């Protein structure tokens, strides 16, 4: 098992788009895909006005495609892409890996297929107009560290689990990876900064509750998710390293961590 930490879409003000390339004994798996090469080629059509808000650095070398190639792989070697959600900065690169099966949570795909209200700005259907090989998973399965409804999607290596983390979107999930000595949990956009999970700064739990929540109905779910994640980071022995997609501090720590060194402890 080897996990590569990739920034697949640097944004304004030093914000990252943290994706993973996971090498298991049986498969090569991407967790999220960042911005894709087609997004860079046609940013106005593919990203719309959100391009001006996020100000992504449109550099082909930062795409998952180029970074996978730099690691010595052919794009066709990527067997699976597991998406935390379908926001444009997480799903844009799926078209660069036409051989991959795209794993997405059912509530998320249904919300993206028929967006209502302010959800219309977040989902860019051009990013999946090529007809991906969807693998749709629904809520269900055993608990994982107290999180209900976690699933091991069909076809994925057994080291990976999908963990519902609702709130940022209706079908937002985290992706947990068993590295052998501990777990990594890519929490997508469940929070912005690890400071929100710190026991000494409980106010930030609520302060970040509205980030990325276009509908008030999701705000309560987001707060519940934040509290559960904060509790997870404080388990004895720190068995799980939790990180968010756009936190540059945690990304730098994990990306520069020497091979074999224990991951960062819970806060």
Number of domains in the chain: 1
Residue 138 lies in a domain: yes
Strand ranges, E, within 111-207: 133-137, 160-164, 173-178, 183-186
Residue 139: pLDDT over 80: yes
Residue 217: give its domain's CATH number: 3.60.15.10
Yes or no: say if 34 and 86 are a contact pair by the CB < 8 Å rule: no
Task: Note down the domain range covering 127.
Answer: 2-255
Domain membership of residue 35 (yes or no) is: yes
Tens of pLDDT, residues 145-164:
999 889 888 889 999 999 99
Read off the pLDDT of residues 195-217 as tens digits, 9 standing for 90 and up: 888 766 655 555 555 455 556 77
DSSP string, 180-240: SSSEEEE-TTS-S-GGGG-TT-THHHHHTTTTT--SGGGHHHHHHHHHHHHHHHTSTT--E
In whole angstroms, what is the distance from residue 140 CA to residue 239 CA?
23
Measured distance between the N- and C-terminal CA atoms of the chain, rounded to whole angstroms: 25
Give the separation between CA 243 and CA 203, rounded to whole angstroms. 19
- CA–CA distance, 15 with 82 (Å, rounded to integer): 22
Classify residue 216: in a domain, yes or no. yes
pLDDT(63) > 50: yes
Residue 158 covered by a domain: yes
pLDDT reported for residue 254: 96
Computed over every residue of the chain, the mean pLDDT equals 87
Q: Are 219 and 226 in contact (CB under 8 A)?
A: no
265 within domain boundaries: no
Q: Is residue 234 part of a domain?
A: yes
Strands 18-23 and 28-31: antiparallel
Percent of the chain with pLDDT over 90: 62
pTM score, two decimals?
0.92
The per-residue pLDDT for 55 is: 66
């Amino acid at each position: 098992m080897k996990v590569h930490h990739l920034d697949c879409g640097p944004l304004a003000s030093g914000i990252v788009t943290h994706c993973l390339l996971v090498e298991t004994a049986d498969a090569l798996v991407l967790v999220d895909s960042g911005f894709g090469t087609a997004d860079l080629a046609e940013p106005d059509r593919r990203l719309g006005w959100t391009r001006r808000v996020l100000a992504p650095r449109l550099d082909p070398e930062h795409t998952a495609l180029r970074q996978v190639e730099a690691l010595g792989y052919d794009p066709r070697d990527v067997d699976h892409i597991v998406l935390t959600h379908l926001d444009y900065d997480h799903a844009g690169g799926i078209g660069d890996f036409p051989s991959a099966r795209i794993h997405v949570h059912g509530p998320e795909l249904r919300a993206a297929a028929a967006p209502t209200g302010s959800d219309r700005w977040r989902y860019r259907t051009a990013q999946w107009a090529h007809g991906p090989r969807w693998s749709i998973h629904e809520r269900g399965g055993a608990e994982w560290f107290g999180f209900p409804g976690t699933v091991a999607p069909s076809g994925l290596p057994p080291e990976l689990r999908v963990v519902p983390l609702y709130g940022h979107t209706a079908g937002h999930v985290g992706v947990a990876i068993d590295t052998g000595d501990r777990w990594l949990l890519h929490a997508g956009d469940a929070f912005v900064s690890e400071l929100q999970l710190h026991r000494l700064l409980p106010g930030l739990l609520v302060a970040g509750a509205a980030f990325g929540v276009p509908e008030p109905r999701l705000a309560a779910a987001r707060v519940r998710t934040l509290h559960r994640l904060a509790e997870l980071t404080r388990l004895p022995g720190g068995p799980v390293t939790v990180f968010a997609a756009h936190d540059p501090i945690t990304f730098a720590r994990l990306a520069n961590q020497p091979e074999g060194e224990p991951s960062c402890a819970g806060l």
